[in-house]
Amino acid sequence: MLSLIIYGVLASLLLLTFSQKASADTMQGEGYQLNLKQVQEADPTSTPAPTHAITPTTSPIPTPPPISSYGESELHFSDDFVQFGPLSPTTPVVRRVTIMVKGEAFPFSLYQQLNHNLMNDPGDEIPATSCDNGSCSGTQAAPWESTLTFGLGVRCDNITGQFCPDDFVDTNVFRPLASQPQVVASGTLNGEAQISLTYKLIVPGTQPQGAYEASPTYILVPGI
């Protein structure tokens, strides 16, 4: 997918997506294929007759809540490959991807998870950022302005509606993009939602040269 750069550092992300559906489906792209199969329910089994007397009760049996069906949903990315290009030490590189969620009105959460830190063939890594004060996490964004704070981070901005987490309200705040699953957007969809994800990457002068790769996966989960 990438050619090694002898005199420099090159980094890229391949975005994988998954949207829950009720029918069989296959998603594929360069370097990956996901096969989704329909879930089959087992045949009901009989309940043996009780061996003791049953005491009648007058308590009402609660009515189970109705099962909601939201139909199919769609998840679209403006790009499925993020190329940071050659990197210079302490120089921030920023890339943006627009995400569109389509479907009937339903609550949803969009999860993101990195398969591993940005890594080259020898196994050298670019870790997730810890932000300027070291307090950002997968659930809490924090300011990241210093060019001496290294790593990979992500932030969410609303294009339509209010779907990004509230901790992204301030400008120039980021979360680390790491292997732990985290909710990057959520809300109630009403036909279409659009958000913008900003990826930021800074490396130190001691970063080993090579081509670094990682694959974040985005999973759209309908609410109940």
Rounded to two decimals, the pTM is 0.72
Q: Can you tell me the distance from the alpha carbon of 136 to that of 117, in angstroms, rounded to the nearest whole number?
A: 17
- What is the signed CA dihedral for 73, 76, 80, 82, rounded to 10 degrees? -120
The residue whose two tokens read 């627009």 is: 98
Q: Which CATH architecture has domain 9-22+71-222?
A: Sandwich (2.60)
* Average pLDDT over every residue of 91-100: 95
Residue 25 — left, alpha, or beta (φ > 0 → left; ψ -120 to 50 → alpha)? beta
Q: Domain spans of the chain?
A: 9-22+71-222
- pLDDT surpassing 90 at residue 13: no
Does residue 173 carry a pLDDT above 90?
yes
Confidence of residue 80 (pLDDT cuts 50, 70, 90): confident
**Banded pLDDT at 14 (limits 50, 70, 90):** low
Which of 9-13, 37-41, 119-123, 181-185 is predicted with the least confidence, judged by mean pLDDT? 37-41
CA nearest 151: which of 135, 131, 168, 180? 131
pLDDT band for position 54 (50/70/90)?
very low
- Count of Cβ atoms closer than 10 Å to residue 81 Cβ: 14
Q: What's the number of CA atoms in the CB half-sphere (13 Å) around residue 8?
A: 10
Contact between residue 222 and residue 105 where contact means Cβ atoms under 8 Å apart: no
DSSP string, 96-112: EEEEEEEEEEEEEEEEE
